[in-house]
Amino acid sequence: MNIDSIRSVAVLGLGTMGHGIAQTFALAGYQVQGYDEHPAARANLHERIRKNLDAFVASGLLPSSAVEPALQRIKACDTEQAAVNGVQFVTEAVAEDLNVKQALFARLEPLVGDDTILASNSSSFPISQSGVNLKWPERAVVTHWFNPPHLVPLVEVVPGPQTAEGTTLATMALMQHIGKHPLRLRKELPGFLVNRIQVAIMREVWDLLEQGVASADEIDAALRTSVGFRLAAVGPLEVHDFGGLDIQTTVFRNLAPEIRSNVEVPKLVADLVAQGHLGAKTGRGFQEYPPAKIAERQQRRDRLFLALIKLLYADSIKGDVG
């Protein structure tokens, strides 16, 4: 598959990730056919994307003339079959359930052309697992986007042992063409690269909270104003190089035995989940979330992400007005 022959894409699952993925392809000029098993997700797809695009325009990253053409390139289809009909690239962003993804790929294969690439946006399942039922696993690959997908530049591209080189190369080229900063992993492994690191941070952050070392607010502020501030500009290995590997290895030896290595979810977090406190969506997680606070935090988050994009990755927002 050559990138020039990719003109239309299908996005299956139009939730948190799928709608932003659809938006990104459409902004770059691709025809997008979307499907979600929940009618509401299909019905409000354009409204959600319009809101995102309006924020792009308000931040000066996109000309207002690019909004309507992008929206017109997106079609919400009534069936899975209609969504994948005639497309050259499919990405699934359905629930993170291995059985659901395996069944979906098995259903899709007879519905698409021989050359159509099938991509999975799984957060953890390698394509050799989710695509296990495929007759032609050569055509399948993981493209792991980050939330919000229309804002975060990285997409991890993770071929499995049976993925054809042509599939990986075309997928990398496609991701670059739509403005993403794709990283091809050299080895297939669960959680890929970034989520493994994020889980390592999660484990320690939860442990420090459980130990009462600082409040949730304080931990968030500490990370934002130190590691987060630094990582936006300089990668961790470069930080180590400039810190000096003699010092860094001493720090590692001193602290590695001290930090949490337990694989159980800490009791503090397990209890919150058992009580139904799942975060913003239930009004309480580590903090309380009255509805006004949710809207305010999300708007603040997107405003800051857009400012960061403007500063560091302005080239990642495409705006095909054709």
Under the rule (CB under 6 A), what is the footprint of ligand NAD? Answer: 12-18, 35-38, 41, 93-96, 100, 104, 121-123, 145-147
Both tokens of residue 32? 């997008």
Using an 8 Å Cβ cutoff, are 88 and 116 in contact?
yes
d(CA 260, CA 204): 6
Which C-beta is closer to ligand NAD: that of 96 or that of 296?
96
> Least Å distance between CB 284 and ligand NAD?
19
> Least Å distance between CB 27 and ligand NAD?
18
Give all strands of the β-sheet with 181-184 in edge-to-edge order. Answer: 74-76, 31-35, 8-12, 89-92, 117-120, 140-145, 154-159, 181-184
> Least Å distance between CB 99 and ligand NAD?
10
Ordered alpha helix ranges (H), the chain: 16-27, 39-43, 45-58, 67-72, 80-84, 98-108, 127-130, 165-177, 194-210, 216-223, 229-231, 236-243, 245-255, 267-274, 291-312
d(CA 138, CA 293): 46
Which C-beta is closer to ligand NAD: that of 41 or that of 272?
41
> Least Å distance between CB 266 and ligand NAD?
21
Q: How far is CA 283 from CA 15, 50, 73, 271, 290, in A?
A: 20, 26, 36, 16, 6
Which C-beta is closer to ligand NAD: that of 37 or that of 207?
37
Using an 8 Å Cβ cutoff, are 149 and 119 in contact?
no
> Least Å distance between CB 237 and ligand NAD?
23
Nearest residue to ligand NAD, by Cβ distance, number only:
15
> Least Å distance between CB 211 and ligand NAD?
27
Which C-beta is closer to ligand NAD: that of 57 or that of 98?
98
**How many other CB atoms are there within 10 angstroms of residue 210's CB atom?**
13
Residue 12's beta-bridge partner residues? 35, 92
Which C-beta is closer to ligand NAD: that of 13 or that of 266?
13
Which C-beta is closer to ligand NAD: that of 18 or that of 182?
18
Residue type, 137: P
> Least Å distance between CB 250 and ligand NAD?
36
Which C-beta is closer to ligand NAD: that of 189 or that of 259?
189
